[in-house]
Every structure is written in structure tokens, then in C-alpha cells.
């Protein structure tokens, strides 16, 4: 197996600069790896390899001193989530009725990646309209987890996460409205950051939805910070994008003396024993790094969180999917129909004002806890992964003897879309007996991005999960 396909972005940039590696060599290896594994994983909706190799040759010239100097992402292979449009290319969002739709706009973070020298060599799969925690659609088929093809890489940024885990991208983009960056990161052993609301610019109208976040995905914490620093900051098309541009430090300080709150279940989420064991191992690693880790009772109820989220979805996201479902009833997936129906039904259970009141109560619990601790550590998901071939429209999930009403109760991410100003990193915590990785969330105080990266870096140093030759999926 080639080493270059799994080379960290920060290491690739160092080698580009000292001329021991060419961007063309790296891109060639990424393409070769794609041709070998993509038939099994199915993470890409579109490949742009000819353009990517041409851009890599231009990057090579920059590093050789020809023309302009290299830029922050110069020559790196970046996979872009198809949900984030690129002008002149398809923008179908995994839906048959929109299979031939061509975008007239480019998402701000795609513009920033290209301006920073990143090379968009491929675009990645999502569930239809990114409304599921797994990745499959009638348009693109089933995307599978490289660690175990029977399982899903999660969703909705499942294609991006699968590409990173499979070695077919160096960096990737994602978006997150209920866990869509963090769930795939957890399921694939990669790193995913849900920035605080407004930190990364988005397109209207969903830039005004406080649950919505675009963010970076990578295989290491430093790589994730690298991409975050490129895509974040104010943008003229997004009135809620924040000033000033906050930069994640390249060399985080130690966590000696920092206070970490550990919660295995956030209140009443049933947790798979392997997930719990790996979460506690991550907590112990932070103790080894010098942090003060204390187990706490958060006191959240998953029913309250789900009801609150569904009221919100019923006001914004649900109606957008429902309108399309009404127009094309035979073309949408069963899970998209189910999402729209449940969201609209939930809108009738409480007004938007009541939903805001519920959100404020949940945010108060998180905020009060984080007033006493620097970060909160908890599992990203309650189970290692969802099955790849199931759409969970009829299947019930049982965790530790508890049957869940909805499969999304098996994740602990949505609470932090409600508490949307909290930055959250999902990082690997270990592996399950199925071979699928598990993850933990590092949750920071509102807009304290640097601290979550600081804690994640410490965890990575003590409990490394780099994709070594002995620790990679697929042959």
C-alpha cells in the first residue's frame, strides 16, 4: 500500500517546500489509490483528475520558484462535498429530480480552498438533501465504510469521511446540521470540526439557520486546523459570518492543569460498551497529558433534545424537503419522505417560539457546565456505526438493551447543533470488534475554537491514531 496516499497535509506541504515531494507525485498516488478502492467504497460523485493533475503541475512550478509563491494549501488534494456548489458543475444533492442541475454559484469555502492553492480533485457523496446520518441515494448508490464495507461511513458528509479513510483525499469538506461532520468522522476514524455558528461562511438561506455549519475534515488534528484556518472568517455574502478572522494556533500549548468534564451518556443516552470503554480510554489519555478529568452528570434527556431539534427542522429544513417531495413523490428516497413527514408533524407539536425556549434551556445546561470546565468530553455516537444497506425507515436500533424510537437517537451530536455556538471536534477514540472506529466529541465554550484543538492535539499525542501501514482500511 502506498504511503503517499495517507501522507498528512502538513507533512506534504513541508515536503513540497523542501522539494523532496512534488504535488504531481502526491496527486498521482491519490488518483492511483482512488482507482483501486473507489469501486468498493463509492465515495465520489465526480472525478476531476485531468484538471487536478494540471493544477498539480502549476503548483509544482510555484514550489520551484516559477511565478507566484506557494499558497497555504498549494498542491493538496481536497475532496469537496457535493452539497457545496461549484459554478458550472452539477448540484444535485443526491436527488434524482436534480440530477442535471448546474450551479451558477460557488460556495464561499470552495472559493477559499481554490484561492489558497488547494486542488478540488473530486466531489463526494451525500444522502439525498443531506437529511440522513448514513450515505446512500438512488442517484449515487451506497457509500461504504472503508474499515468494514458492511457498515456506513455515516452521513451526511459520508463521502468525504470515507475518502479520507480510504486514502483518496488529503483533506475534505463537510457540513453539519445534526451531526453530519462528526458522525462520519467518528465512524471512519477521522477528524471533523463543527465550527461555532458564523465562524465559517455559508450560502443563503441556510446560512441563517443556526443549526447549519460548514467545516473541515481530515485525518489529523493539525490538518483539520490547517483547512479550518483557510475556510473561516467573514465573507460579504454571509451577513452572519463573524469578524475578526480567528486563527487556530499551529503549535498548541499543553493541557497541563486544564479541566475536562467527562460524560459518557450526556444524561440518558444508552451507550454501546465498546464506545464507553474507548471514551474512558480517551479520558485517561488526557489525564496522562496532564489534564484534570472529572466525570460529571450533564442531565440532558435525549427525548427533550430530539423534540427540540424536530421543532426546528419542522420550521426550516423540513419544509424545503417536503416541497420537493410533493412535486416528485415517486423519485425521492423513502428516508427523505420520512424526514419531511416527521419534520412537518413535529412543527405542529410546538411553535417556533416554544422551540427557542427549549433550545435556551438546553444551551443553559451546557453553558453552566462549561463555565466550570474548559471542555466537555463525550462520545460522538452511541454505537460504532450504522449498517450500510439499511435506510432505517423501519429498522429499530437497540443499544444496551434499550430500543430507540429513531435511529438518530444513537448519536450524541444534535445537542451541539442546538448549542450551536459551541465549537466541537470529533476525534477517534479507538476501534470496535467490527473493525469500525469510534469517536469522542471535544466540546468547547462558545467561540473558543483554539481550546478544542488544543485538547484534541494532546489526546492525539498520547493516543495516536495516524493511518500507519498497520492501521489502515482496505488492501
Domains observed in the chain = 4-462 (3.90.1300.10)
pLDDT at 469: 75
Write the CB contacts of 350 (distance below 8 Å, at least 6 apart in sequence): 307, 311, 358
Which DSSP string corresponds to 12-81? HHHHHHTTSS-HHHHHHHHHHHHHHHHHHH--EEEE-HHHHHHHHHHHHHHHTTSSSPP-TTTT-EEEEE
User: Rounded distance, CA 420 to CA 198, Å?
Assistant: 9
Q: Which of 262, 59, 314, 45 is nearest to 159 (CA)?
A: 45
pLDDT at 1: 39
Under a CB-based contact definition with an 8 Å cutoff, are residues 312 and 356 in contact?
Answer: no
DSSP 207: G
User: Rounded distance, CA 424 to CA 14, Å?
Assistant: 28
81 is a catalytic site residue = yes
Cβ contacts of 96-102, under 8 Å, gap ≥ 24: 96/138, 96/139, 96/328, 96/331, 96/332, 97/324, 97/327, 97/328, 97/331, 97/332, 99/139
Cβ contacts of 233-236, under 8 Å, gap ≥ 24: 233/201, 234/201, 235/108, 235/201
Record the pTM. Answer: 0.98
Please tell me which residue in 152, 180, 420, 432 is annotated as part of the active site. Answer: 180
Q: How many CA atoms lie within 13 A of 66 on its CB side?
A: 6
Q: Which of 158, 217, 155, 227 is nearest to 191 (CA)?
A: 217
β-strand partners of 443: 376, 424
Task: Specify the DSSP element, H or E, that contains 293.
Answer: strand 292-295
What is the separation of C-alpha 128 from the centre of its chain, rounded to a whole number of angstroms? Answer: 16
189: left (phi over 0), alpha (psi -120 to 50) or beta: left
Q: Which of 409, 61, 72 is nearest to 248 (CA)?
A: 72
pLDDT at 475: 78
pLDDT at 240: 97
Please tell me which residue in 95, 130, 152, 156 is annotated as part of the active site. Answer: 156
Under a CB-based contact definition with an 8 Å cutoff, are residues 411 and 302 in contact?
Answer: no
List the grid coordinates of 433: 470488534
180 is a catalytic site residue = yes
Under a CB-based contact definition with an 8 Å cutoff, are residues 12 and 76 in contact?
Answer: yes
Write the CB contacts of 414 (distance below 8 Å, at least 6 apart in sequence): 178, 179, 305, 306, 309, 408
Helix 352-370 with 302-315: angle, nearest 10 deg: 130
Which DSSP string corresponds to 409-445? GGBS-THHHHTTTS-EEEEEEEE-TTS-EEEEEEEES
pLDDT at 471: 82
66 is a catalytic site residue = no
List the grid coordinates of 278: 474507548
Block means of pLDDT (10 residues each) for the chain, 475 residues, are: 85 98 98 98 98 98 97 99 98 98 98 98 98 98 98 98 98 98 98 98 97 98 98 97 97 97 98 98 98 98 97 94 96 97 89 95 98 99 98 98 98 98 98 97 98 98 86 85
Looking up cell 503541475 gives: 57
Helix 9-17 with 221-231: angle, nearest 10 deg: 80
Under a CB-based contact definition with an 8 Å cutoff, are residues 27 and 50 in contact?
Answer: no
User: Rounded distance, CA 3 to CA 145, Å?
Assistant: 20
User: Rounded distance, CA 399 to CA 65, Å?
Assistant: 57
Under a CB-based contact definition with an 8 Å cutoff, are residues 12 and 73 in contact?
Answer: no
List the grid coordinates of 419: 448549542
Looking up cell 416541497 gives: 323
β-strand partners of 172: 79, 217
Amino acid at each position: 500500500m502506498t504511503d503517499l496516499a495517507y501522507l498528512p497535509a502538513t507533512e506534504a506541504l513541508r515536503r513540497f517546500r523542501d522539494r523532496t515531494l512534488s504535488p504531481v507525485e502526491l496527486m498521482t498516488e491519490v488518483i492511483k489509490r482512488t482507482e483501486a478502492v473507489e469501486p468498493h467504497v463509492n465515495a465520489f460523485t465526480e472525478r476531476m483528475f485531468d484538471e487536478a493533475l494540471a493544477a498539480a503541475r502549476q503548483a509544482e512550478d510555484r514550489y520551484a520558484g516559477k511565478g507566484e509563491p506557494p499558497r497555504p494549501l498549494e498542491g493538496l488534494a481536497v475532496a469537496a462535498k457535493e452539497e457545496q456548489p461549484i459554478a458550472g458543475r452539477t448540484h444535485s444533492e443526491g436527488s434524482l429530480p436534480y440530477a442535471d442541475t448546474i450551479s451558477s454559484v460557488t460556495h464561499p469555502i470552495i472559493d477559499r480552498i481554490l484561492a489558497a492553492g488547494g486542488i478540488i480533485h473530486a466531489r463526494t457523496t451525500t444522502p439525498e438533501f443531506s437529511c440522513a446520518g448514513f450515505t446512500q441515494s438512488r442517484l449515487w448508490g451506497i457509500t461504504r465504510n472503508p474499515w468494514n464495507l458492511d457498515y456506513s461511513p455515516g452521513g451526511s458528509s459520508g463521502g468525504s469521511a470515507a475518502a479520507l479513510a480510504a486514502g483518496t483525499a488529503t483533506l475534505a469538506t463537510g457540513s453539519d446540521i445534526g451531526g453530519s461532520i462528526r458522525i462520519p468522522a467518528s465512524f471512519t476514524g477521522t477528524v471533523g470540526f463543527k465550527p461555532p455558528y458564523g465562524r465559517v461562511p455559508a450560502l443563503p438561506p441556510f446560512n441563517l439557520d443556526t443549526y447549519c455549519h460548514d467545516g473541515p475534515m481530515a485525518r489529523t488534528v493539525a490538518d483539520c486546523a490547517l483547512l479550518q484556518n483557510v475556510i473561516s472568517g467573514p465573507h460579504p455574502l454571509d451577513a452572519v459570518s463573524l469578524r475578526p478572522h480567528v486563527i487556530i494556533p499551529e503549535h498548541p500549548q499543553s493541557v497541563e492543569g486544564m479541566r475536562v468534564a467527562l460524560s459518557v451518556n450526556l444524561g440518558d443516552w444508552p451507550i454501546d460498551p465498546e464506545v464507553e470503554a474507548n471514551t474512558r480510554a480517551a479520558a485517561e489519555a488526557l489525564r496522562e497529558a496532564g489534564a484534570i478529568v472529572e466525570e460529571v452528570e450533564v442531565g440532558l434527556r435525549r427525548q427533550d433534545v430530539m423534540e427540540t431539534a424536530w421543532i426546528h427542522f419542522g420550521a426550516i429544513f423540513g419544509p424545503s424537503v417536503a416541497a420537493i417531495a410533493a412535486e416528485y413523490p415517486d423519485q425521492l428516497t423513502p428516508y427523505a419522505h420520512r424526514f419531511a413527514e416527521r419534520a412537518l408533524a413535529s412543527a405542529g407539536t410546538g411553535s417556533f417560539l416554544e422551540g427557542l425556549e427549549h433550545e435556551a434551556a438546553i444551551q443553559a445546561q451546557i453553558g453552566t457546565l462549561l463555565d466550570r470546565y474548559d471542555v466537555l468530553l463525550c462520545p460522538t455516537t452511541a454505537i460504532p456505526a450504522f449498517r450500510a444497506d439499511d435506510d432505517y425507515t423501519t429498522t429499530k436500533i437497540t443499544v444496551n438493551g434499550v430500543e430507540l424510537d429513531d435511529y438518530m437517537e444513537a448519536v450524541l451530536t444534535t445537542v451541539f447543533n442546538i448549542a450551536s455556538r459551541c465549537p466541537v471536534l470529533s476525534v477517534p477514540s479507538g476501534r470496535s470488534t467490527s473493525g469500525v472506529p469510534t469517536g469522542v466529541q471535544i466540546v468547547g465554550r462558545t467561540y473558543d475554537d483554539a481550546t478544542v484543538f488544543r485538547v484534541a492535539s494532546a489526546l492525539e499525542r498520547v493516543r495516536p491514531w495516524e493511518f500507519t501501514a498497520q492501521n489502515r482500511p482496505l488492501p
